[in-house]
Amino acid sequence: MITLKHKDLLDAGVHFGHLTSKWHPNMAPFIFMERNGIHIIDLNKTLLQLQEATRALKVIASAGKRILFVATKKQAKGVVEQEAKRLGMPYITERWLGGTLTNFATIRRLLKKMSSFDKLTKSTAYDNMAKKEQLMIAREKTKLERLLQGIADTTRLPAALFIVDVKKEHIAVKEARKLGIPVFALTDTNTDPTCVDYPIPSNDDASRSVELIIKAVGNAIEEGLEERRKHKEVDTPTQGPVVSKGARERNVEKVVSSETVEKQAFMSKAMNKPTIKAAKKVTTQRVAEVKQEVSTKTVESTPKAKATTTSDKPHANAKKTTKQATPDPEKADQA
């Protein structure tokens, strides 16, 4: 909850507005009075609007969503950057690139390019390059880091925008309204509060005023993040430890291997060693008998073959003799 009081706001100069000649008519409900040609902001309205904005930001932070801080004014740069880094939220404190939200695909391409340059400068290939190439890469890298350093870790669009000076960051407001992203902003007397979802009427030119409001908003976001951590701690014991797929497979393999080892041990105890030896002897005897049978068959078949060859030879000689013994009838007639 907000612990700010009227005295804190008065000491920081939150109540000072712009000149009466530069005021915006839509800011009339938040103006308390006019003094010495300057509008004075109603601090009661400021506290109410700040309480409503911090409550909404706390809900967004507790849901685990990201809030983009935008402040390119010199008075607010350092404070916004410091608070965003403390909360781990993205921020833009340099020039707002047109299409940062509506053309986020191009911004992601630039972020990948920046990360590739960072890896290249740390590699050995960068040392082997020419000096001109090294200078060109270094300049491009510094330029991208200056513009996109605060949103280097963002992979999706933010859930909300917190803007300092709506008039200066009008492009960011238009892009957020086009995409339906809620906008929280400090609105001075010269800005239009209707273009913002959660306006906080305050002095956006004084560094003390901006710092006070930013710290109050940062504390609300921090409370939301703390609530999210507590919910996670409560939910994790009921769900049990999260085990990855690889770990589950390894555990299954261990269980299976232990089961197989136990089965093998039980089988080895159940089986008698003498019976195994006897079975081995039977198989060796059987192999020897088969070998003897094969050898006897080969021995018996070889003499028969020789006998048949020897018995065939006399028949051939007999045929030759019969051919020689038979006389030719023509020769007999001539005689």
Task: Say whether pLDDT at 246 is over 70.
Answer: no
Longest dimension (CA), the chain: 178
Residue 223: partners with Cβ closer than 8 Å, 6 or more residues away? 58, 61
Task: Say whether pLDDT at 298 is over 90.
Answer: no
Highest mean pLDDT among 112-126, 160-174, 303-317: 160-174
Backbone angles phi, psi at 283, to 5 degrees: -65, -40
Mean pLDDT of 159-179: 94
153 exposure class (CB count in 10 Å sphere: 0-12, 13-18, 19+): exposed
C-alpha closest to that of 110 among 80, 151, 62: 151
Confidence of residue 297 (pLDDT cuts 50, 70, 90): low
Cα dihedral across residues 156, 160, 164, 170: positive or negative:
positive
Which residue do the tokens 């006998």 mark?
307
What is the pTM (predicted TM-score) of this model?
0.67
Laid out side by side, the sheet with 91-92 consists of 91-92, 67-70, 160-164, 183-187, 198-201
Q: What angle do CA 304, 310, 313 make, to 5 degrees?
A: 140
Question: Which residue would you say has higher pLDDT here, 44 or 2?
Answer: 44
Residue 162's pLDDT is 96
Q: Which of 144-153, 281-290, 294-303 has the lowest mean pLDDT?
A: 294-303
Task: Say whether pLDDT at 198 is over 90.
Answer: yes
Residue 59's pLDDT is 94
Task: Say whether pLDDT at 319 is over 50.
Answer: no
Residue 105's pLDDT is 92
